[in-house]
Structure 1
Amino acid sequence: MQLTAADDLQSLQRTRIHTQKVLILRTIKNSLTGHELRKIEYIRAGIVPCLSELLSTSNELLKHGEISDTQIQEQDALWLQSAAIVAVVAGAGTAFTRPFLKSRIIDFLLGYLLVTNTIKVRLTILRSLNAIASNLPPQSEKDWTPDQSLTRCLYTKSTAECITRIVRNAGTPIVEQQVVEAALGLICKSCTTEKQKTVLVEAGLLDVLCTQLSRFIAMDHFQDDNTLGQGRHSGTSLRRTIHLSPILETIGLLIEKAQLYAERFIRSNEMISTLSLTIDSVYTEGLVRANPAYCPSTRILSMPLPEHLPTKIDVLLPQVMDVEGMKAARKSSFPPLDVAAQPARRRGMSNRTSTDQNTSMANESSTEPVETLVVPWLLFIARSSSRRRRMIAARVLAILKCHGFVHSVRVRSLASLLVPILVDLLDDTHKQATNSPSDTGADALIGCPYSYLVPSTLALTVRDNEHLQKAAVACKAIPKLAAALKSNVETLQDPALHLWWPQKLHVKLTDGEQDSCLGRGGPSIQLRTNMRLREGLLQALASITPDNDNYRKEICDAGALAQIMQALEPFHTQLVRNNEGDSLSVHGNSPQVLVAACGAVRALTRSPTTLRTKLVDADVSKAVLNLLYTSNPEVRISATMVLANLSHDFSPMKQDISEANVVRKLCEQAHSANARLRHESIFALKALVNNSPNKLKKLIIDELGCSWIRHLIATDPHDVPQGEVIGLVQRDYRKGSMARFASDSPDERMEGADSSAGKADGDDIESYNLHTLQQDLDIQAELLAFLRNLTTGESPTEIIDYLIGEIGQEDFMHVLIDRLRDRIQSTPHIIGQMRRSPAVPAATVMNTLYMIAHLAAAERKYRMMLCNNTTLMRQVSTLFGSTDAGVRSACCWLVINLIYPTSSGNGNGINASGDSIDAVMARARELQKLGIMNVVRRLEKTELVVDVRERAATAAECFGRLLERG
C-alpha cells in the first residue's frame, strides 16, 4: 500500500498533462474516501506538500499572463479535485488536519476562492475549509484554544468581502444556495472574537444578511414547516431562497455581544418594510377565517397590549393574560410607603377602572424603546417551526431580549409562549432527531445537532427576569438540567488517539516533517460540541437561580453540585506514547465551561445556608482558588467574582481567602491592565477587609501600595488620554484637561465603549487591556468602597492612622474634596466659553462621603480636622440636594457622626472617644453657620425616601439637643 501511495504521488509530480493530473487526483480522492489507513499512508508519502506544490504552480500561472477559457476549465478541474482531497482527509479528525495547517494550502484555497467564478469549485473549496474548521487541533498541546492558522487567513478584508459577495449574489440554483450555506457555516464554525465579527460587518455582511432575510420573509409569508407550499407560493418557489436557519444563525453570531450591531439588525429598513408589506398582504379577513385557532374572537387576553407594540402580527400569536402587568397596575393604585400622600388622593386612585389601569401600564411602558416587527416575527418562527429553525429563531430573540430590544410586556409573555417550548426541548431534541421515544431526559441532549444550543438559549431567555425564571422552574427545568449535566459529565470522555497499523513500524506516524506526518490529536469535534452543551447547562442553572434560595436548594437536592464541582477542573492534557505515534489524552474542562461553572457556583454562594453546608462539604474554595492561577483571563475574572462571595463575614471559607498567598494574588490582579480583572479583584478585597483583623488590612495596604491607592483615587478618569490605563503607570495627568471627554462626541464615546467592551472578549491581549471611561470610573468608585470598608471594624483608628500616615493628611483630604465636586472645562479655541463635564458618579460621591463619615466616627482629632476644613464642609452642604438618595443619606450620616452627643464616659463631660460636650456643641455651631442645620431640617420635613428622612430626623434632633443647651 505504501508503494501505491508513493507511485501515485510520483506520477502526479512527473506528468505535465492537466487531464492526467486531474485523473490521478480523482483516483486518489476515490481511494481515500472512507479508508483511514490510506489517508495515513498518503500523508506519510507526502500528499500535502505535493498538493501545495501543485496549487502553487497553478496559482503562479493565474497571476502571470492571460489564459484561455480551456485553460481556465482545466485549472478549475484541478482545483476541484485538490480541494475535494483536502476535504476528505481533513474530515478524518484533528490529527489529519495538522499537516494542512503547517502548509500553505489554506492560503492557496482562499486565494482561488477570490478569483474563481465556477460554482462547483467554490462549493468544494468552502467544504474543504469547513472540514478543516470542524477539526482544528489545539493551538498548543496544553491549550484548549483551536489553532488560529485558518482564522488569520480567513478574516481579512478581501476574504470577508468575497464571502459578502457570495451571499449577496446568490441565485435560484440549488448549488448556489449550497455555496452560501457553506460560507455561512464556515463563519459560524470559526468566528469567535469580536474583532473577526467587526471585519465581517465592515465588509457589509450583516446588511446583506438582512436583505436575504427580507427576501425569505417575502417568499415564506409566515408559513410553518408543516404547511410549506400550501399558501400563496408553491414549495418550489420557497426552495429558491436560502434556508432561514443559516441566515439567522450568522446574524445571531454577529449581534450576540454587540448592541450596536443588534440595533442595526432590527432597524434595517428592508426588514421593516418587507415585514410591514407582508403582514398587510397576509393578515386578511379570509386568512383569519381560514385559521380559527388564530381568530381574534378566540383570544383569552382580557387586557390589550400597549398601542406601540406591533399588534398586527400578534394575530398569529396566542394571546395570554399579562398577570404581572395587572399586578403592577394594581400596585400603582396605592402610594409607595415612602411617599406621604393625601388621603383624598389615595381614594381617587383606588377607584380607577380597569381601563385606567391599562392606560397607566401603557404610559409606564411608553418610556421603553418602540418594539420593531422583527421581534414578534422571531417569536412566531420559534413557535411555528421545528428543529434547527425553531432553535435559532429562539436564540436570536433571546439575544435581542438581553440587549433590551424586546418590550417588557412581550418579555413577560415569553413565560407562556417560549419558555415552556425551550424546557420541553431539553427532552424532545434527541427524540425528534432519532425518532426514538425511549431516549429522553439527559441522553436527549447528547449527539443531536444543535442540541447544545437549547440550554444556552434558555439561559439567555430567563436571565435577569424573575418572572421568566419562575416559569422555567414551574416547567421542571432544574431537574432536567441537573439530569442532563450528570449524564454529560459522567459519559463524556475523549481518549487518546490510537493509530492502529497492520504491520510493525520503525518510525512513529507522528514523527517527521510537520506537513508529512500526523498531528498528536487533541479535542475532537464531538468533545468541543459536548463542552458547549455542558457550558449551556451550567449557564442555564446559573441564570435560573440568582436570587431565589428555594431554587438553589432545588439544584443541590437534584444532585447537580457534584457535577458543578467536576466542571471546575481546569483543562489539561497528557501525552500518551505508543509504538504507532504520540497522542494527547484530554482531561478537564474548557475555559468556557470553567467560566460557566464559576457562574453557577457564584449563584449558589448567594445563599448563606448553602454556603455554610453544601459548599463547605464540597470544598469549593479550594477549586476556585486553583482557578486564579490559570492562564485564561476570563477564568481568573470569574473565579475572582466567586471569591468576592466567599469573602463575606457569613462565609465559613473567609479564612481560606485570608491566607497571605491568596491576598497577594488578589492584590497582584488589582494592578492588572485588564479593567474587569482589576475591578473584580478590588471588589473581592473590599469584601475581605470588612470586619477583618488590622493585621490583614495592613498586609493588603502594603501589597496594593499606598502610592498606588493615592494615585488611583486622585486621578480623574476624564483626564486619562484614550488608550492609556488608569493607575497602571503612576504619572500626573494635566488636571482639568478631560482628554477623553473632550476628544470625542457623545455618540463616538458610546460607540468606543461598546466596541472595546466587545473586544475584551477576544483573544487579543491588547483588546483585553482596553479601558473605557465608564470602566475607569467604576474602578475608582470600587477602590473608594474598599477604603470605606477598610476604615471600619474594631480599632479603626489604627488603620486610619496608618493609611493617612502613608499617604499624607493634606494630600488625602485634597483628594477626597476633589472626588466630591464636578469639574469645569474650558472649550478650546472659544474664549470665555465653559463646559461642565458629566456629573461625578453617585457611587464615587457616596463611597467618599461614607469614608469621611468613618473618619468622623473614629477619633476626636479627625472630627476636628473635618470641621475645620471649610472647603470640604461647604462641598458636603451642596450634596444634600443630590438627586441620588444614597448620597443624601451619606451626608446625613456624616453630620450625625460629627455632632452626635454621646454620654460622658468618666463623669467629667468627656466621652469614650475623647470628646467633650463643649467640643461637640462647637462643631454643631460651625455646621449651623454653613447652613447645614437648615438643610437637614428641611429634609426632615420634605424628604420622600424613608431612610434619608429618618437619618435627617436624627441629625436634626442632635442639632436641637446641642443648640438648646447653648
Structure 2
Amino acid sequence: MARPQDSSILALLLSAKSYPEQAAALRMLKNQVIGHIQKKEAWVALGVLDPIVSTLSESSRSPARHNGKDARSQFAIPTLSDEETVRLQALELIASFASGGPAFLAPLFAAHAVPTILANSFSPHVNAPQIVVAALRALTEIAQAAALASPSSPLDIQFLADSLFVPQHIESLNVMLSMTSSKYLLQSQPTLAAGLICRLCRDERHQHALVLAGVLDSLATQLARFAVRDGLVVPGAVELAYSDGLYDVFPEPADADTAIGPILEAIAVILGDSKYRANRLLYSPAMLAIFPSVKCDPQKGPPGQPHALTAMEYLLPPMPASFPRSQSASNLCPSQPPDRSESRSSSRNGGDGIMEDVESPVIPWLIHMARTLAGYDSLMAASVLAALFKAGLGRKSVRETSIGLLVVPLLVTMAGLDEKETGKGPEGPEVAVERLLVERATAVLARLMTDSDYLQKAAYDCGAVKALTKVLKRAYQPVPQMDRPKYWSPHPDAVTEPVSGSASARLGDVGLNPLLIHYIKLREATLRAIGALSAGKEDYRKALVAEDLLPYVVESLWEFPRKPRQAKEWSKDRPAAAEPPRKGQSAAYGINNVSVFVAGCHVVRMLARSVSVLRTALVDYCIALPIFYFLRHDDINVRIAATATVINLVVEVSPVRELLTEQGVMGILCEHAHSDNAALRLNALWALKHFVDAVGPELKKASLEQLDSEWLVQLICDDSHDARFRETGGGIDDDGDADMDMVTPEEPFRWLHGANGAVRELNASRSTRLRQAEDRLTAILETELNPARRARNDEAAIQEQGLDFIRNLIGRPEPGASSETPSETTEMIDFLLGELGQARLFEILASKLRPKKLHPLPRRTTGREAARVLHPQARIIVAVIYILVHMAASIPRHRQLVVEQTDLLKLLAQQSSSKDREVRVALCHLVINLTWQEDGGEGPQCLSRVLELRRLGFQNRMDTLKHHDRDLDVRERAKTAAWQMEQAASASSY
C-alpha cells in the first residue's frame, strides 16, 4: 500500500514547472517503488503511469543536442542535460514497473509506453548513450514480462515485435550493433540490442527485414570480433583482405568481458531455417575478411583428415578417417555442388574468389567454441552451427563425424541436466538459465538429428533415449499453484482501488506460471527430439517405448492434459479412446499449444513405422482417436500434422484401420484432398493411397467417388501455377502475402558495414569475393523465395501421390487370377478406364513423361533468354510406370491394351538410360509383366506383344541393362525380362 503522503509526489510531478522539479519528483518516486511490488501496484492505482510516460515525449520535444553530430561524438559520454535527466528517470521507472510482471503490461499499454519509448528515446543518433541504454533496458523488461503474459494481454511479444521491427527502429538497432567502444555504456548497447532480437524475432518477415537492413551483417561483425580477440583469424587473411578490398571491414578485437552468448543467440534466431540467411552469414563482409576459404597444404593438414579443409581444422581433435557407413561415395564431394550460374561466375571472376570445394572456416570455429565455451555460450554456438549445417553448409562427410563426436554428447548432457525446480517463490537467474539450457539443448539436438542417420546413432549411443524420456516425464510433473507473495500491511483487509478512471490505473492479469511455460516448451522440444530420433532405426523406437514414453505422448495430444496414466490404469469399461472431451485446464498441467500437438503427432507417426509398436503399444493406449479428432482441428498446422500421422495408421498391417474407417476417416481425407493448402492436399492423398491399398473394391470405388475423379485428374495434370505466374509475374502461395515484403532475387544486394556507430554501404565491385558471394546468394535466394519454383515442387509431390493412388486403386494381382476368373484387380482396372476414359488415362500418363518448357517471367528477363526445359522428375516417372506394371499384371486383355499405347511406350523406352535406378528397375518390371503368359493358350498374344516391344527397342535396351548396368538388381531383372522375350520368340518357332 502506498502511504497517504506519497500522493504528494504525484502532485509534485503533475505541478512541476521545470525539468529539475520533474527529475526530483521522478527520483523520489523511483526510490519508493524499486524492489517493492506492493508499492508499484498502489502507484499504478493512483494513475502515475500517464504522467511518467508523458514526461518522455514532453522532454524530447526540445532539440536534442546530439542531433546532427558525427558518429565520433557518440563515443563521448556526456553529462546529461536537465531534460535528458528527466527522460532517464522516466525510463528507469518504466523498467521498474515492467519488472513487476505481466500484471503491469495492461496499464503500460494503456499509457502508450512502448511507442513513446521507441519514438523519443531509442535512436542513438539523437539520444545520449545513457538514454539509449535505459530505453533498451525498459524494452527488455517489458519483453520479459510479455513472455509470461496471458493470451488476453494487449501487450504481448507480437505487439512488441511489430512495433520494433520497422525500418526506422531497425536502423537504430543496426547502429547499436555497430558499437565497438570499450566504454561500458557503449559496449552494453550491442548486448542489449541482441537480447531484444532474441526475445522478439519469431516471424519470417521480421527475420528477412533484419537481414535486408544489414542487422545480420552487423551481428556477424560483432561475432568476428571474438575470433580476432582470441587470435583465431585464418593465417593470411589480413593480406588477402588487403588485396581483395576487404581490409576496411576487418573487425577490431572484442573486449575481454564482452558476452558472446547474446550475439550468437540473435544470429541463430535470425537464421531460422533459411538456407539463404545461413549463406548470408558466411558471406558477410567481416566473415569473408577474417575467414577466407583457403585450403590447407595437403602435406601439412591435420592427420587423418581429408583434403579441402581449412587451417581452422587444427582447432579440433583428429577425427576417424573412415566415413559413416550410411554415406555414399557421392558424399565425399562437397555437400552442395555449385549451380551452373555459380560456376560460370567463378570462372569469370578469376581464381582469388571463394573456393566451392573448401568449406568456410566458420564451421570448425563454431564446433571449437561449442567445445571450449561453457553453458549458455556453448549452447548458442551449437545453435548457430546447427542452422548452418542443416542449410547444407560444410562438408557433410566430415562434419557429421565431428558434430556427432564433439557436439552431440554436449547437447545430450545439457538436455539431461537436473533442474532446480522451485515452483514457489521468486526464481533467480540461475534457475532461468538452467531452464533455458534444457529447452534449447533439446531443440538443437532435435534439429541436428533430423534426417541424419549418423547423428541419430551418435545421440542414441550417448544415452539420448533415457535423457529425452526423463525430460518429457519431468515436463508432466504437476506444477504448484502460483500464489502471489503476501506482504505485511497495517491494513491487511484493504484493497487497492484505482483512484483514476483511466485504463492505465488498472492492473491486468497476473500472467502465466513461469514453470508451467517452461514445461510446455520442454514438451514441444522433447517431442521434436524424440520424433527425430524415432525416425531412425527400429531399435531406437523400441528403446523409446521401453522407457515408458507413451503415456506422456498421449497427454500431449490433449489440449487440457492431466496426469499421465499407464494403459492398465484405464478403466476396462471405458478405454482411453472413449474418454469424453475435457473441459477446462488443470492448473497443475496447463494447456498444450499447437506446437505441442504438431510435435506429438510427429512422434506417433514415427513410432507407427514400427509394426510391433503399431500393433501393441499404440493400440494399448488407443492413440488413433486423438489423432482422428485432430483432423478437424481449427488450426491448419495441426490438421496437416494429424493427416501426416494417419498416413502410417491406415496401412494394411495397422490394427486401427477398421476403427478409423468406422469413424469416417475416408471422407475427411477426401475433403482435405480438396484443400487450398498444398501440404494438407499432399498428406491427404498420401493417406488415401495407403487407405485404398488393402480395402475391397466397394470402398475403393467409394473413395474415388468422394474424391471426385475429375479433381484427381486435375491434381495430377494441373500445371496452372506456371501459367498463372507467367501471366502475373508472381504468385500467391499458401502463406498468402508472406513473401510480399521479402527481398526478391532481382533486387541488388546491399552490403552494410557498421563501425564506431557509423553504418555505410560497401561497394561490392571492389571485392572479387563479394561479387562471387552475390552470384551464389542470388541463386540461393531464387531457389528459396521463388513462388513458381515452390509451386512446382508442391505440384510434383502431389502428382506423385495422385498417381500412386491410382496404382493402389488397381491393387495387387491375386494368385491364380485368369481371364475366366477375373480378380478384384481386373474389376478395378475396368472401373478406372470407365471413370477416367481409356484414351484420357493413357494420355495423362504420357503427359507426365514429356519435358515441359518454362518460359521466363517478363520481369526477370531481357527478352533474349530462351525458355527452360523442365524434364520429368524420376519419382513421377516411377509412379507412371508402376501403374502400367499393375495393369500388365492383370489379364491378357489389359496387357494387350498397354502394348497398344505406342506413344507412351516410346517415351518409356527412353528411360532405360535414366540415372535413377528406381526408374530402370520399374521399366524392367513392366517388360517382365508385358511378356508374361498365363498358359500356352496365350502364346500368340504374348508373341505379338514381344514383337511390338522389340520394334520399339525394348529388347536391345534390356540386353544393354543386363550386361552393363551398374546396379545388380537392375541387371537381374533385365535378365528376366530379356529371357522372357527370347522364350516367347523361340516358342513361336516350334
2:543 aligned partner:
554
Deviations 1:133-173 (A, max 9, x none): 12227898489995522111111111111101111134211
Alpha-carbon distance in 1 for matches of 2:953, 2:331: 42
Specify the SS of the correspondent of 1:20. Answer: helix
Alpha-carbon distance in 2 for matches of 1:33, 1:495: 23
CA contact (8 A) 1:647 1:688 kept: yes
User: Is 583-592 or 703-712 further displaced after alignment?
Assistant: 583-592
Residue of 526, 536, 543 corresponding to 1:537: 526
2:644 aligned partner:
641
Shift of 1:943: 2.6
Shift of 1:203: 0.8
Residue of 420, 435, 446 corresponding to 1:459: 446
Specify the SS of the correspondent of 1:837. Answer: strand
2:280 aligned partner:
264
Residue of 603, 613, 628 corresponding to 2:631: 628
2:739 aligned partner:
none
Gap change, CA 1:563 and 1:23, over 3 Å in 2: same
Shift of 1:23: 2.2
1:211 aligned partner:
221
1:229 aligned partner:
none
Taking only aligned residues, the RMSD between alpha carbons, in angstroms, comes to: 4.5
Residue of 148, 152, 170 corresponding to 2:158: 148
Name the amino acid aligned to 1:961: Q
Alpha-carbon distance in 2 for matches of 1:237, 1:728: 42
Percent identity over the alignment?
28
Specify the SS of the correspondent of 2:477. Answer: helix
Alpha-carbon distance in 2 for matches of 1:842, 1:328: 22
CA contact (8 A) 1:135 1:525 kept: no
Specify the SS of the correspondent of 1:218. Answer: helix
CA contact (8 A) 2:678 2:794 kept: yes
Gap change, CA 1:45 and 1:540, over 3 Å in 2: same
Alpha-carbon distance in 2 for matches of 1:510, 1:893: 85
Gap change, CA 1:792 and 1:144, over 3 Å in 2: farther
CA contact (8 A) 2:931 2:981 kept: yes
CA contact (8 A) 1:522 1:585 kept: no
Specify the SS of the correspondent of 1:309. Answer: coil
Specify the SS of the correspondent of 2:847. Answer: helix
Residue of 391, 400, 410 corresponding to 2:379: 391
1:14 aligned partner:
15
Whether 2:306 is the aligned partner of 1:306: answer yes
Name the amino acid aligned to 1:900: W
Name the amino acid aligned to 2:373: S
Residue of 656, 659, 672 corresponding to 1:656: 659
2:129 aligned partner:
119
Whether 2:141 is the aligned partner of 1:134: answer no
Deviations 1:582-616 (A, max 9, x none): 99998232322333333333332221111111121
1:400 aligned partner:
388
TM-score (norm 1): 0.79
Alpha-carbon distance in 1 for matches of 2:652, 2:478: 39
Specify the SS of the correspondent of 1:46. Answer: coil
User: Is 71-80 or 634-643 further displaced after alignment?
Assistant: 71-80
TM-score (norm 2): 0.77
Alpha-carbon distance in 1 for matches of 2:266, 2:924: 54
Shift of 1:662: 2.8
User: Is 382-391 or 51-60 further displaced after alignment?
Assistant: 51-60
Gap change, CA 1:62 and 1:777, over 3 Å in 2: farther
Within a 5 Å distance, the mapping from 1:762-801 to structure 2 comes to 771-793=790-812, 795-801=824-830
Alpha-carbon distance in 1 for matches of 2:506, 2:465: 47
Gap change, CA 1:876 and 1:428, over 3 Å in 2: closer
CA contact (8 A) 2:67 2:126 kept: no
Shift of 1:178: 1.6
Alpha-carbon distance in 2 for matches of 1:756, 1:586: 43
User: Is 38-47 or 702-711 further displaced after alignment?
Assistant: 38-47
2:84 aligned partner:
76
1:101 aligned partner:
109
Whether 2:906 is the aligned partner of 1:874: answer yes
1:475 aligned partner:
462
**Unmatched runs of 5 consecutive residues or more in structure 2:** 234-251, 338-355, 423-429, 563-584, 737-743, 749-774, 813-822
Shift of 1:248: 1.3
Alpha-carbon distance in 2 for matches of 1:947, 1:317: 42
Shift of 1:83: 2.0
Name the amino acid aligned to 1:452: E
Alpha-carbon distance in 1 for matches of 2:111, 2:432: 37
Alpha-carbon distance in 2 for matches of 1:890, 1:319: 44
Q: Which is helix-richer, 1 or 2? A: 1
Whether 2:932 is the aligned partner of 1:900: answer yes
* Count of matched residue positions in the alignment of Structure 1 and Structure 2: 858
Shift of 1:71: 13
Alpha-carbon distance in 2 for matches of 1:134, 1:564: 30
Gap change, CA 1:146 and 1:855, over 3 Å in 2: farther
Gap change, CA 1:47 and 1:655, over 3 Å in 2: farther
Shift of 1:59: 5.3
Shift of 1:508: 8.6
2:987 aligned partner:
965
Alpha-carbon distance in 2 for matches of 1:389, 1:803: 61
Alpha-carbon distance in 2 for matches of 1:46, 1:370: 63
Specify the SS of the correspondent of 2:100. Answer: coil
CA contact (8 A) 1:568 1:594 kept: yes
Gap change, CA 1:804 and 1:48, over 3 Å in 2: farther
**Unmatched runs of 5 consecutive residues or more in structure 1:** 224-235, 284-295, 333-359, 435-442, 574-581, 730-739, 758-768, 910-915
Deviations 1:548-603 (A, max 9, x none): 22222221222222222222223699xxxxxxxx9999823232233333333333
Residue of 680, 698, 711 corresponding to 1:695: 698
CA contact (8 A) 1:689 1:789 kept: yes
Within a 5 Å distance, the mapping from 1:161-200 to structure 2 comes to 161-200=171-210
Shift of 1:776: 2.4
Name the amino acid aligned to 2:781: E
Residue of 270, 283, 286 corresponding to 1:254: 270
Shift of 1:802: 4.0
Name the amino acid aligned to 1:470: K
CA contact (8 A) 1:45 1:516 kept: yes
Alpha-carbon distance in 2 for matches of 1:478, 1:593: 19
1:25 aligned partner:
26
Shift of 1:123: 1.2
Name the amino acid aligned to 1:391: L
2:834 aligned partner:
805
Alpha-carbon distance in 1 for matches of 2:922, 2:294: 57
Shift of 1:79: 2.3
Name the amino acid aligned to 1:557: A
Specify the SS of the correspondent of 2:21. Answer: helix
Name the amino acid aligned to 2:116: F
Name the amino acid aligned to 1:313: M
Gap change, CA 1:831 and 1:647, over 3 Å in 2: same
CA contact (8 A) 1:845 1:887 kept: yes
Gap change, CA 1:826 and 1:151, over 3 Å in 2: closer
Gap change, CA 1:728 and 1:194, over 3 Å in 2: closer
Alpha-carbon distance in 2 for matches of 1:561, 1:842: 38
Alpha-carbon distance in 1 for matches of 2:326, 2:162: 52
Name the amino acid aligned to 2:381: A
Residue of 944, 947, 950 corresponding to 1:922: 944
Within a 5 Å distance, the mapping from 1:37-116 to structure 2 comes to 37-58=38-59, 73-112=81-120, 113-114=122-123, 116=126
Deviations 1:374-409 (A, max 9, x none): 112112212122122211112222222222223222
Specify the SS of the correspondent of 1:163. Answer: helix
Shift of 1:688: 1.8
Shift of 1:457: 2.3
2:845 aligned partner:
816
Alpha-carbon distance in 2 for matches of 1:98, 1:801: 68
User: Is 679-688 or 840-849 further displaced after alignment?
Assistant: 679-688
Name the amino acid aligned to 1:820: L
CA contact (8 A) 1:248 1:392 kept: yes
1:372 aligned partner:
360
CA contact (8 A) 1:163 1:183 kept: yes
Deviations 1:822-872 (A, max 9, x none): 124678999999645121111111111212332333455544443333222
Whether 2:932 is the aligned partner of 1:931: answer no
Residue of 477, 484, 497 corresponding to 1:490: 477
